[in-house]
Structure 1
Amino acid sequence: MDIIIIEDEKPAARRLQRMLTKLDIETKTMLHSVAEAIDWFNGHEHPDIIFLDIQLSDGLSFEIFEHVKTDSAIIFTTAYDEYALKAFKLNSIDYLLKPIDEEELEAAIKKFRNTQHQNGNIDVKELRSLLTQTNHQKSYKTRFTAQVGQHLKLVDISDIACFYSENKTTYLHCYTGRNYPIEVPLEKLEEDLDPEKFYRINRKCILNINAIRDIISYTNSRLEIKIENFTEFQLIVSRERVKDFKIWLDQ
Structure 2
Amino acid sequence: MKIIIIEDEKPAARLLQRKLEKLGYTIQALLHSVEESINWFENNSHPDLIFLDIQLSDGLSFEIFDKIEIKSPIIFTTAYDEYALRAFKLNSIDYLLKPIDEDELETAISKFQNQFQKNAVSSLDFEAIKKMLVNPVQKEYKNRFSVKIGNQIKVVLIDEVECFYSENKGTYLHTIDNRDYLLDCSLEQLEAELNPDSFYRISRKFIIPLQSIKEIQMHTNSRLKIILPTYKEDEVIVAREKVSDFKNWIG
TM-score range, shorter chain: 0.7 to 0.9
- Kept in 1: contact 2:142–2:193 (CA 8 A): yes
Q: Deviations over 1:136-173 (max 9, x none)?
A: 34443332222212212122222212111233332111
Q: Counterpart of 1:129?
A: 131
Q: Is the 8 A contact 1:214 1:226 kept in 2?
A: yes
Matched with 2:199 is 198
Task: Give the residue type in structure 1 aligned to 2:128.
Answer: E
Q: CA deviation at 1:58?
A: 7.0
3-state SS of 1:141 partner: coil
Aligned partner of residue 240 in structure 1, secondary structure = helix
Q: Would you say 1:109 and 2:113 are equivalent positions? A: yes
Decide whether aligned partners of structure 1 residues 121 and 39 sit closer, same or farther in structure 2, where only a CA change above 3 A counts.
Answer: farther
The aligned residue for residue 162 of structure 2 is 161
Letter in 1 for 2:223: R
CA distance in structure 2 between the partners assigned to 1:152 and 1:87 by the alignment: 37
TM-score, normalised on structure 2? Answer: 0.73
What displacement does 1:241 show? Answer: 1.9
The answer for unaligned runs of 5 or more in structure 2 is: none
Distance 2:58 2:148 in 1: 40
Letter in 2 for 1:76: F
Which residue of 1 is the match for residue 60 of structure 2? 60
Deviation, structure 1 residue 129: 0.8
Q: 1:26 aligns to what?
A: 25
TM-score (norm 1): 0.73
| C-alpha distance in 2 between matches for 1:42 and 1:171 | 48
Residue type of the partner of 1:128? Answer: K
What residue in structure 2 maps to residue 47 of structure 1? 47
Task: Indicate if the aligned counterparts of 1:3 and 1:47 stay in contact, CA closer than 8 A.
Answer: yes
Deviations 1:198-218 (A, max 9, x none): 112222211111211221222
CA deviation map 1:39-86 (0-9, x unaligned): 255246231322334356775332444565533333435664675236
Q: What secondary structure, in the 3-state scheme, does the structure 2 residue paired with 1:116 have?
A: coil
One-letter amino acid of the structure 2 residue matched with residue 52 of structure 1? L
Q: Give the Cα–Cα distance (whole angstroms) in 1 for the partners of residues 222 and 107 of structure 2.
A: 37
Task: Read off the aligned partner of 1:61 and give its amino acid letter.
Answer: S
Change (3 A) 1:130 1:238: closer
Measure the CA separation in 1 of the matches of 2:232 and 2:207: 15
Cα deviation digits, residues 198-243 of structure 1 (max 9, x gap): 1122222111112112212223322221222222222222222211
Query: Quick one: percent identity of the two aligned structures?
Result: 41
Matched with 1:88 is: 91
Distance 1:182 1:58, change over 3 A: farther
The total of aligned residue pairs comes to 237
Counterpart residue identity of residue 87, structure 2: A
Mean Cα displacement is larger for which, 121-130 or 162-171?
121-130
Deviation per CA, 1:173-215, whole angstroms, max 9, x where unpaired?
1122222121222233223322222112222211111211221
Q: For 1:42, what is the secondary structure of its paired residue?
A: helix
The answer to whether structure 1 residue 146 and structure 2 residue 144 are counterparts is no
Q: What is the distance in 1 between the residues matched to 2:109 and 2:235?
A: 36
SS at match of 1:28: strand
11 and 157 in structure 1: CA distance in 2 versus 1, 3 angstrom threshold: farther
CA distance in 2, matches of 1:161, 1:182: 14
For 1:208 and 1:138, locate their aligned partners in 2 and report how far apart those are by CA, in whole Å.
19
> Which segments of 5 or more consecutive residues in structure 1 lack a partner in the other structure?
none
